[in-house]
């Protein structure tokens, strides 16, 4: 049962083969039994889930079901859930119980889905390994069978590990610089970061507002499409939400790929990429050629500047966004503040972890008097150059393909002492966020028993085409069905 996709489970609920209560009990049982090994959940909401499952079964019996009615899933602990604590992986929000739902949360509730809990993440989504969580690191299910403790990637490592370990069939996630695609790649699942503005950011705890985008994680492309059907859409409560029609993302999944023009950015097949990884990715591209696609090399000449631009823009925006955590209205407050300044500075020193503090300090520096033009403005200009590269590439090809990461999952602790080495994990994903275009990571093989992700990048609002390309690949490969032992 736990190996079935959302689409399959939805059909079984519809035909009455299983009830949502049974399904929910089964997945809750798996979380209880297995999650001690992974620490992929921060909070499990058993009682609420069972109540929601009963309501879903009644709704289905009443003939008012959506494809999601009664389907268990999980939210990354960055999406506010009314009445259920939302920590963002931080001590700052350890006991924060939001008085409202994020739009994404409300959408799944409306669709009748059953949330089993909140998944672990790097603190405030700043990280690529889910090791900076105040609630302890998440461990990748892959490699664990041989005693190998590897990172699941991050920041959405809890969602990725939970889906890979079959604790839930799907989970929400967010991606600011690669936080959906990199963990999806490292955990051998399928993830999609939509076009910036496609999914509402309302109630999604802000990190870098011009880059943050909610998205999907599941084992199959089809399930990602089902998720996006629930999540995408205009939201007047998000000032950068885009008012565009939302297609049925499952409608084009079965379109043939004959004639699809694939571009391979030469900068993403550089010496940063290990030869064995490259082989896996090139083999995946060959599968596409068998499906009728054509392949050519393209260039993204400014892509090499993406990490530098990102590490100005993201910390600068983070320093502004995280100024709201001051110990006054909600969240952590230090003991016995002696005055207001002490309240602010000690609350923030004690409530934030090291990586979050580093980024706030870098961002504050970049925005401080005398540095704004040299850093933030310069980075925003480079951002446009990076975007222009993608616009030019999409004049020649329909999609771009590359590895999602330079190497497979690394061992826990390997990169925690060197922030810059950790930042380079996102070398192939970060430019996509700067440009604001959509991209996926799709399982495409293994290196030393660890999953490899193929990144598929598309033009603005091309989510349906990306999902189609991923789905067709998954009809002729079974990488996405492999289960960690």
Partner 1 sequence: MTISRKDIEKVAVLARIRVDEAQISALEKDLGNILDLVDQLGAADTDAVVPMAHPLDAVQRLRADEVTETNQREAFQAIAPATGNGLYLVPRVIE
Q: Binding residues for partner 1, per CB under 8 A?
A: 96-97, 99, 195-197, 210, 236, 239-240, 242, 302, 304-305, 307-309, 311-312, 319, 323, 326-333, 337-346, 348-349, 352, 357-358, 360-362, 364-366, 368, 375, 377-385, 387, 418-420, 423, 435-437, 460
Query: What's the chain look like in SS3?
Result: CCCCCHHHHHHHHHHCCCCHHHHHHHHHHHHHHHHHHHCCEEEECHHHHHHHHHHHHHHHHCCCCCCCCCCEEEEECCECECCECCCCCCHHHCCCCCCCCCHHHHHHHHHCCEEEEEECCCHHHCCCCCCCCCCCCCCCCCCHHHCCCECCCCCCHHHHHHHHCCCCCEEEEEECCCCCHHHHHHHCCEEEECCCCCECCCCECCCCCCCCEEEEEECCHHHHHHHHHHHECCCCCCCCCCCCCCCCCCCCCCCCCCCCEEEEEHHHHCCCCCHHHHHHHHHHHHHHHHCCCEEEEECCCCHHHHHHHHHHHHHHHHHHHHHHCCCCCCCCCCCCCCCHHHHHHHHHHHHCCHHHHHHHHHHHHHHCCCCCHHHHHHHHHHHHHHHHHHHHHHHHCCEEEEECCCCCCCECCCCCCCHHHHHHHHCCCHHHHHHCCCEEEEEEEEECCEEEEEEEEECCCCHHHHHHHHHHHHHHCCHHHCCCC
Q: How far is the CB of 62 from partner 1 (least distance, A)?
A: 31
179 is catalytic: yes
395 is catalytic: no
Q: How far is the CB of 383 from partner 1 (least distance, A)?
A: 5
Q: Which is nearer to partner 1, 360 or 393 (CB)?
A: 360
Q: Which is nearer to partner 1, 114 or 432 (CB)?
A: 432
Q: How far is the CB of 387 from partner 1 (least distance, A)?
A: 6
Q: Which is nearer to partner 1, 286 or 304 (CB)?
A: 304
Q: Is residue 430 a contact partner of residue 404, using CB atoms and an 8 Å limit?
A: no
Q: Which is nearer to partner 1, 63 or 420 (CB)?
A: 420
Q: Point out the catalytic residue in the list 19, 128, 156, 179.
A: 179
Q: Which is nearer to partner 1, 365 or 446 (CB)?
A: 365
The gap between the terminal CA atoms of the chain, to the nearest Å, is: 17
Q: Which is nearer to partner 1, 296 or 384 (CB)?
A: 384
Q: How far is the CB of 443 from partner 1 (least distance, A)?
A: 28
Q: Point out the catalytic residue in the list 10, 20, 40, 155.
A: 155
Q: Which is nearer to partner 1, 247 or 337 (CB)?
A: 337
Q: How far is the CB of 78 from partner 1 (least distance, A)?
A: 17
Q: How far is the CB of 242 from partner 1 (least distance, A)?
A: 7
368 is catalytic: no
Q: Is residue 293 a contact partner of residue 287, using CB atoms and an 8 Å limit?
A: no
Q: Point out the catalytic residue in the list 5, 40, 76, 159.
A: 76
Whole-Å CA distances, 465 to 194, 284, 445, 460: 12, 17, 22, 11
- Cα gap 343→99, rounded to integer Å: 24
Q: How far is the CB of 280 from partner 1 (least distance, A)?
A: 28
Handedness of CA 241, 404, 256, 295 (dihedral sign): positive
Q: How far is the CB of 101 from partner 1 (least distance, A)?
A: 13
- Cα gap 16→19, rounded to integer Å: 7
Q: How far is the CB of 269 from partner 1 (least distance, A)?
A: 20
Q: Which is nearer to partner 1, 374 or 411 (CB)?
A: 374
B/e letters for 228-252, b = 16+ CB within 10 Å, e = fewer, are bbbbbbebeebeebbeeeeeebbeb
Q: Which is nearer to partner 1, 26 or 323 (CB)?
A: 323
Q: Catalytic residue numbers? A: 76, 155, 179
């Amino acid at each position: 049962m736990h190996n079935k996709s959302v689409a399959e489970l939805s059909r079984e609920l519809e035909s009455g083969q299983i009830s949502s209560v049974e399904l929910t009990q089964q997945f809750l049982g798996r979380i209880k039994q297995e999650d001690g090994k992974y620490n992929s959940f921060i909070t499990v909401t058993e009682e609420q889930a069972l109540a929601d499952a009963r309501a879903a079964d009644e709704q289905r019996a009443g003939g008012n079901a959506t494809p999601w009615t009664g389907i268990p899933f999980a939210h990354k602990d960055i999406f506010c859930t009314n009445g259920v604590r939302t920590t963002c992986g931080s001590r700052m929000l350890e006991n924060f119980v939001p008085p409202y739902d994020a739009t994404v949360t409300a959408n799944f509730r409306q669709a009748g889905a059953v949330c089993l809990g909140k998944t672990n993440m790097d603190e405030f989504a700043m990280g690529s390994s889910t090791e900076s969580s105040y609630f302890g690191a998440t461990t990748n299910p892959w490699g664990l069978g041989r005693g190998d403790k590897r990172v699941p990637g991050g920041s959405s490592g809890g969602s990725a590990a939970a889906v890979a370990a079959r604790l839930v069939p799907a989970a929400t996630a967010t991606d600011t610089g690669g936080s959906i695609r990199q963990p999806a790649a490292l955990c051998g699942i399928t993830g999609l970061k939509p076009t910036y503005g496609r999914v509402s950011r309302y109630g999604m705890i802000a990190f870098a507002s011009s880059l943050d985008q909610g998205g999907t994680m599941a084992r199959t492309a089809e399930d990602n499409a089902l998720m996006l059907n629930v999540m995408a859409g205009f939201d007047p409560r998000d000032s950068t939400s885009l008012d565009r029609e939302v297609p049925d993302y499952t409608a084009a999944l079965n379109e043939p790929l004959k004639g699809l023009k694939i571009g391979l950015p030469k900068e993403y097949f550089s010496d940063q990429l290990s030869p064995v990884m490259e082989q896996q990715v090139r083999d995946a591209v060959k599968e596409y050629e068998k499906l009728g696609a054509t392949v050519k090399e393209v260039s993204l000449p400014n892509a090499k500047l993406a990490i530098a631009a990102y590490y100005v823009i993201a910390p600068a925006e983070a320093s502004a966004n995280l100024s709201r955590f001051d110990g006054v209205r909600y969240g952590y407050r230090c003991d016995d503040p002696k005055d207001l300044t002490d309240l602010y500075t000690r609350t923030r020193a004690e409530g934030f972890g090291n990586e979050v503090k580093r980024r706030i300090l870098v961002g504050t520096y970049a925005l401080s008097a005398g540095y704004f033009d040299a850093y933030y403005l310069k980075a925003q200009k480079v951002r446009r150059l990076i975007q222009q590269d993608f616009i030019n590439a999409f004049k020649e090809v329909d999609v771009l393909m590359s590895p999602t990461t330079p190497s497979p999952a690394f061992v826990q602790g390997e990169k925690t002492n060197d922030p810059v080495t950790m930042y380079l994990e996102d070398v192939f994903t970060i430019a996509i966020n700067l440009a604001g275009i959509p991209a996926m990571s799709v399982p495409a093989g293994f290196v030393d028993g660890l999953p490899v992700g193929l990144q598929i990048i598309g033009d603005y609002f091309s989510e349906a085409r990306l999902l189609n390309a991923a789905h067709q690949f998954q009809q002729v490969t079974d990488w996405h069905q492999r289960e960690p032992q």
